[in-house]
């Protein structure tokens, strides 16, 4: 469910520092580059096409999308969030922040993010596709 709304960063409200979050999101996209496109640059139609191309005769796909209160990082510290990445090929949050922001901007961004992790009301966004396929008759 990305991109998130401008005022959200990993589910947390960054409205008051949206201009800094924009820089971090842009740095993430640049650092991520094409290395992760194979993990993220496809949709449900592509999954069905891949299954058919592989020779499956019956293909069923269900997409499930959720937007709800909560966060996968809610129960842990801001340090864990900073060292997180959405997939093994992507940069961490910490790397993106370091690349995007000056030292004073980093301090401001991290102070706000730490408050949000401790006291904010995050929103968890997810989209999952379940594909089943049968190759036989």
Q: What is the pLDDT of residues 76-124, one digit of tens each?
A: 789 999 999 888 888 999 999 999 999 999 999 999 999 999 999 999 9
Cα separation values, 61 from 23, 87, 113, 127, 133, Å = 36, 23, 37, 13, 9
Among 53-62, 73-82, 120-129, the least confident range:
73-82
Instruction: Describe the chain by its helix, strand, coil percentages, rounded to 5.
Output: 50, 20, 30
For residue range 5-37, list pLDDT tens digits in order.
999 999 999 999 999 999 999 998 888 776 666
Gap between the Cα atoms of 4 and 122, Å rounded: 12
Using 50, 70 and 90 to split pLDDT, how confident is the model at 51? very high
Gap between the Cα atoms of 111 and 96, Å rounded: 16
Q: What is the pLDDT of residue 73?
A: 66
């Amino acid at each position: 469910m990305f991109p998130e709304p401008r005022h959200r960063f990993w589910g947390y409200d960054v409205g008051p520092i949206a201009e800094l979050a924009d820089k971090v999101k842009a740095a993430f996209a640049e650092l991520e580059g094409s290395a992760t496109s194979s993990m993220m640059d496809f949709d449900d139609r592509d999954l069905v096409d891949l299954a058919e191309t592989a020779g499956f005769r019956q293909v069923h796909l269900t997409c499930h999308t959720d937007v709800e209160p909560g966060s996968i990082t809610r129960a842990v510290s801001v340090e864990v969030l900073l060292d997180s990445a959405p997939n093994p090929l992507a940069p961490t949050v910490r790397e993106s922040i370091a690349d995007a922001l000056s030292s004073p901007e980093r301090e401001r961004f991290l102070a706000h993010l730490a408050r949000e992790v401790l006291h904010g009301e995050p929103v968890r966004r997810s989209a999952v596709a379940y594909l089943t396929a049968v190759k036989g008759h």
